[in-house]
Amino acid sequence: MDFHPIPEQLIKKAISGQQGSPDWSAILNIISKLEGNASAMNLLLESMARYIQKGPNSAKYNTLMLLDALFKNGKKPQLSKLQCDFLYQTLSDSSVSDDPKLQNFVHENVSEWVKACATNDCLDDKFVQWQKTNGSYRFIEGLTSDMRAKFIEQFDTCAEMITIFSQFLISAYLDKTGVSTPVIKEILPNIREIELRTEKLLPTFKDFQMKSYCSAIYNFASVTVEFHDAMKKEKSFDISRVIKALKNVQKIAPQPQGVEVVPEVQEKKPLRTAGDDITDEEFFIELHKLKKPVAVVSNDPVDLLGLSAPAAQPKVDNLLLF
């Protein structure tokens, strides 16, 4: 089979024009030239990567439209070539992931790309994994009141889960029972998932309050995971970091509309300094005061964080498992 590279001028022609209006005749010409000539895909991807990373905004967007057309009109040999580390690296580059329009385009179309590969019996596991990690998030241009309420509801649920997990960890730490208990093992994957998803979600918020709340949840999850890992390795850990992270979540958490927060009058006590002892009873009293009930979830919630619960998960006290 002869190797015929796609002419550079044809690629330039295909992605020319205003943003969102590529030259479709040139794109169809490229698709036609790739039939029986799948080996040309590697050089084509290299050229496309240059335009995505260094081209003007219109060329970047139109190049993604060319990629979309290649996936949706390609056959097995072409689709197999498209699924490569070079493509994943290109689409994971900050030139795409930090640009709302480009990242949102990938997010809106990647499921169709995966579906096309699956339909042609050539879906690569790496592509599926890349979709889950890099193609699963989108930038949120503006939050409707319903979307905002759902995010707050799910962030509240995350905060409650991390709080409960931290209580199990602290009890294990004080009782010296370790982290190998069934309940800790069962909850840990959920906390790691919250940490991962909030980290990915954080840069997509433009709303300052929601961004701050997401950041606080991420930090709380990260500190708690760090606490767990330190205990597993039998290393020392400053438990006050967990309390500080929890206090920050409760301080930043948006209050439900129409609810007036009345500050609690507290007895003045001497300020604690680093190294001061705190009894187990005092510690858990403080922890309990910081907790708040989780928001009631509707029967059919919009799962904005992608943390839906698998069916028939075991119930552990009042733990809300995803």
Q: Diameter of the chain by CA atoms?
A: 85
Measure the CA–CA gap between 158 and 195, rounded to whole angstroms: 10
The answer to whether the beta carbons of residues 287 and 280 sit under 8 Å apart is: no
Backbone angles phi, psi at 312, to 5 degrees: 60, 45
Dist CA 197 CA 295 (whole Å): 20
Q: Provide the whole-model pTM.
A: 0.53
* Per-residue pLDDT tens digits of the chain, which is 322 residues long: 455 788 899 999 999 989 999 999 999 999 999 988 878 898 999 999 999 999 999 999 999 999 999 999 999 999 999 999 999 999 988 889 888 889 999 999 999 999 999 999 999 999 999 998 887 777 776 778 888 888 899 999 999 999 999 999 999 998 888 999 999 999 999 999 999 999 888 877 878 888 899 999 999 999 999 999 999 998 888 989 999 999 999 999 987 554 444 444 444 444 444 444 545 455 555 555 544 443 333 333 334 454 433 333 333 333 233 3
